[in-house]
Amino acid sequence: MLMQTVYTKPFDGQRPGTSGLRKKVNVFQQPHYLANFVQAVFDSIGDFHGQTLVVGGDGRFYNREAIQIILKMAAANGFGKVLVGQGGILSTPAASCVIRKHQAYGGLILSASHNPAGPDEDFGIKYNIGNGGPAPEQITEAMYARTLDIDHYKIADCDDVDLDQTGSFVLAGMQVEVIDPVSDYAALMQSLFDFDAISKLLASGFSMKFDAMHAVTGPYATAILEGLLGAPAGTVMNGEPKEDFGGGHPDPNLTYAHELVEIMYGDDAPAFGAASDGDGDRNMILGDHFFVTPSDSLAVLAANATLAPGYAGGIAGVARSMPTSAAADRVAASMGLPCFETPTGWKFFGNLMDAGKVTLCGEESFGTGSNHVREKDGLWAVLFWLNILAVRNEPVADILKKHWQQFGRNYYSRHDYEGVDSVAAEAVLEQVRDQFATLPGTMLAGRRISACDDFSYTDPVDGSVSRNQGVRVLFEDGSRMIFRLSGTGTSGATIRLYLESYEADSSKHGLDAQDALADMIVAASRLSGLIDRTGRDKPTVIT
Ligand code: G16
């Protein structure tokens, strides 16, 4: 078998963002583009000779081609074995599960998450380390540095492999095992949740819908919900993964998961609805005519964690990303548990989980998870909710209302302005920064500002510092206004405006979040000059 050394030149812009390298498909299709990045990864992760690599993706367009390149490069670079999902499929949480279970050295996950898929849409790749979690910033920065001076990559000269049959074979001296993408993950879920109780709930007439949005969770949800738990056929909607996600935008929020939202807000709505995203790590939870914000979902899971067998012994602590509402902080405080505030990006939770400091983590961006893997996990959150519903036997809305009565309600919303000119987007943040010195002590939206800053995080485990993680305007009553640029977009800039206001009085818990935050929304756009600078008079997406 011939091992080739291919001489190449660096490409600009291969710095991994919030979650790996995401670009348009035609960028990845340029000769050597993917191979350069993969070699830069291999050159930055230490000695993996003879070790195992996990490879899989969300099934989007270019997934199969990318996997063939990666397998040949893994063989030429000295990996001993690759575990690859059948059909090239592995959801992000399942890849994390497989890395951990099989003690792999790491994994390459091919996904651009919820971003649309197809020849004119997005593709992505990220590297996860041996704990199953996204590579930390020191490693992603080393990869980026390597992309800047790369001059060759190694690849085996051999035929493509058949990804569609499970089984083992040898490729250029390296063992390849094509695995069932679902079974390890399903077994892990069975070890965490009371499948008997959930089965009884589903058999009792309790109705639910799960929208896989034609993305990777289809096979997982069908096998677990309809197969193992006995939910009626048709419970899983849009369950067949497609290379273009059926032309949709598999981001489980109120805007993009509209098909499910219409069912959950229609006549005879099911008691429970949920959706997941392109690569299966995000989740949206709905009740009958009721939306659970991701921030509230984390808080409810924390407060009810011991109802699930996998967490019956209690949880060590909770972590949330900075822009996520402080609802979970209130639960943690009442339970006497530590609560950590990290920058946006799941990679920041890994150290906390490895050190045993936290069990549950969550982000406002529809991500929730625990130390069972090192990624956020959409179906895990759905099963956790089903376990809680099976034990409490109350509607989703009642669970939330009781939660707010006990802990108060953190009204919360995120306004996204997508595809904004990058210079204008930076100027919006800069306008707020320019007022840092004068704002504290003044009144805005009827509240007194206590502090303003650029959020900075010092990892309590390894001491690494991450700066400029969002512009914050903090108020004395706990309200917050945060301006941040997304690190996952592929065209222009996306401004995220996060708004939060705390209400202790339960007689005021029945408002719509947009109404409760109306004064904050107006004040934030005036403070930042957002409308003038971007030419946008309303957000692209409100969640
Ligand atoms: C990724 C990250 C998350 C992050 C989200 C949004 O999720 O893993 O930690 O919260 O992007 O990031 P941003 O606000 O920078 O766009 P996913 O599901 O896209 O992998």
Please write the tens of the pLDDT for every residue from 137-188: 899 999 999 999 999 999 999 999 999 999 999 999 999 999 999 999 999 9
Nearest residue (by CA) to ligand 1, atom 14, is: 486
Tell me how far apart the alpha carbons of residues 396 and 393 are, in angstroms, rounded to a whole number. 9
397-453 pLDDT, tens digit per residue, is 999 999 999 999 999 999 999 999 999 999 999 999 999 999 999 999 999 999 999
Which two tokens mark 282?
């995000």
Tell me how far apart the alpha carbons of residues 444 and 449 are, in angstroms, rounded to a whole number. 7
Active-site residue flag, 113: yes
Say yes or no: CB of residue 253 within 6 Å of ligand 1: no
- What pLDDT score was predicted for residue 352? 96
- What pLDDT score was predicted for residue 235? 98
Nearest residue (by CA) to ligand 1, atom 6, is: 365
Say yes or no: CB of residue 276 within 6 Å of ligand 1: no
**Closest listed residue to residue 55, CA positions, set 128, 161, 148:** 128
Say yes or no: CB of residue 281 within 6 Å of ligand 1: yes
Q: Does residue 214 register a pLDDT over 70? A: yes
- What is the enclosing helix (H) or strand (E) of 393? none
- What pLDDT score was predicted for residue 491? 76
Q: From the CA of 344, how far away is ligand 1's center (Å)?
A: 7
CB atoms within 10 A of CB 60: 32
> pLDDT-based confidence at 18, cuts 50/70/90?
confident
From 344, 373, 471, 485, give the residue whose CB has the most ligand 1 atoms within 8 Å, as the site to mutate.
344
Average pLDDT over residues 368-391: 98
Q: Does residue 20 register a pLDDT over 90? A: yes
- What pLDDT score was predicted for residue 487? 84
Architecture, CATH, for domain 185-407: 3-Layer(aba) Sandwich (3.40)
Closest-lying ligand 1 atom to the alpha carbon of residue 17: 15
Say yes or no: CB of residue 367 within 6 Å of ligand 1: yes
Architecture, CATH, for domain 2-180: 3-Layer(aba) Sandwich (3.40)
Q: From the CA of 155, how far away is ligand 1's center (Å)?
A: 31
Q: Which residue among 96, 113, 295, 297 is the active-site one?
A: 113
CB atoms within 10 A of CB 209: 21
Same topology for domains 2-180 and 185-407, yes or no?
Answer: yes
Q: From the CA of 319, how far away is ligand 1's center (Å)?
A: 15
Tell me how far apart the alpha carbons of residues 66 and 21 are, in angstroms, rounded to a whole number. 13
434-445 pLDDT, tens digit per residue, is 999 999 999 999
Closest-lying ligand 1 atom to the alpha carbon of residue 114: 19
187-196 pLDDT, tens digit per residue, is 999 999 999 9
CATH code, 409-542: 3.30.310.50
Say yes or no: CB of residue 345 within 6 Å of ligand 1: yes
- What pLDDT score was predicted for residue 1? 59
Residues paired with residue 176 on neighbouring β-strands, in sequence order: 82, 169
- What pLDDT score was predicted for residue 508? 95
Nearest residue (by CA) to ligand 1, atom 13, is: 486
Could you give the residue ranges of the DSSP H alpha helices within 173-222?
183-192, 195-203, 217-221
- What pLDDT score was predicted for residue 137? 87
CB 457 within 8 A of CB 343: yes
Say yes or no: CB of residue 344 within 6 Å of ligand 1: yes
Q: From the CA of 295, how far away is ligand 1's center (Å)?
A: 14
Say yes or no: CB of residue 115 within 6 Å of ligand 1: no
* Burial class of residue 507 in the structure, from the number of CB atoms within 10 Å of its CB (0-12 exposed, 13-18 middle, 19+ buried): exposed
- What pLDDT score was predicted for residue 106? 98
Looking at the chain, the whole-number percentage of residues with pLDDT higher than 70 is 100
> pLDDT-based confidence at 43, cuts 50/70/90?
very high
Closest-lying ligand 1 atom to the alpha carbon of residue 363: 10
- What is the enclosing helix (H) or strand (E) of 24? strand 21-24
Q: What is the DSSP letter of 438?
A: T
From 284, 363, 414, 485, give the residue whose CB has the most ligand 1 atoms within 8 Å, as the site to mutate.
363
Query: Residue 272: CB partners within 8 Å, gap ≥ 6?
Result: 206, 207, 208, 209, 285, 286, 287, 288, 385, 386, 389, 396
Q: Does residue 489 register a pLDDT over 80? A: no
- What pLDDT score was predicted for residue 67? 98
Could you give the residue ranges of the DSSP H alpha helices within 15-82?
25-28, 33-42, 63-77
> pLDDT-based confidence at 488, cuts 50/70/90?
confident
Which two tokens mark 350?
């890994």
Q: From the CA of 486, how far away is ligand 1's center (Å)?
A: 8
- What pLDDT score was predicted for residue 255? 87
- What pLDDT score was predicted for residue 403? 98
Angle, vertex CA 18, rays to CA 12 and CA 20, nearest 5: 55
Q: From the CA of 345, how far away is ligand 1's center (Å)?
A: 6
> pLDDT-based confidence at 349, cuts 50/70/90?
very high
Residue with tokens 């979040």: 513
Least confident of 67-81, 221-235, 343-357: 343-357
- What pLDDT score was predicted for residue 504? 93
Tell me how far apart the alpha carbons of residues 379 and 392 are, in angstroms, rounded to a whole number. 20
Q: From the CA of 221, how far away is ligand 1's center (Å)?
A: 22
Say yes or no: CB of residue 486 within 6 Å of ligand 1: yes
Tell me how far apart the alpha carbons of residues 523 and 382 are, in angstroms, rounded to a whole number. 36
Please provide the DSSP assignment of 228-280 as one string: IS-PPTTSEES-S--TTGGGS----STTTTHHHHHHHTSTT--SEEEEE-TTS
Tell me how far apart the alpha carbons of residues 273 and 285 are, in angstroms, rounded to a whole number. 6
- What pLDDT score was predicted for residue 392? 98
- Count of residues for the chain? 543
3-12 pLDDT, tens digit per residue, is 899 999 999 9
Q: Where are the domains of the chain?
A: 2-180, 185-407, 409-542
Closest-lying ligand 1 atom to the alpha carbon of residue 321: 10
Say yes or no: CB of residue 18 within 6 Å of ligand 1: yes
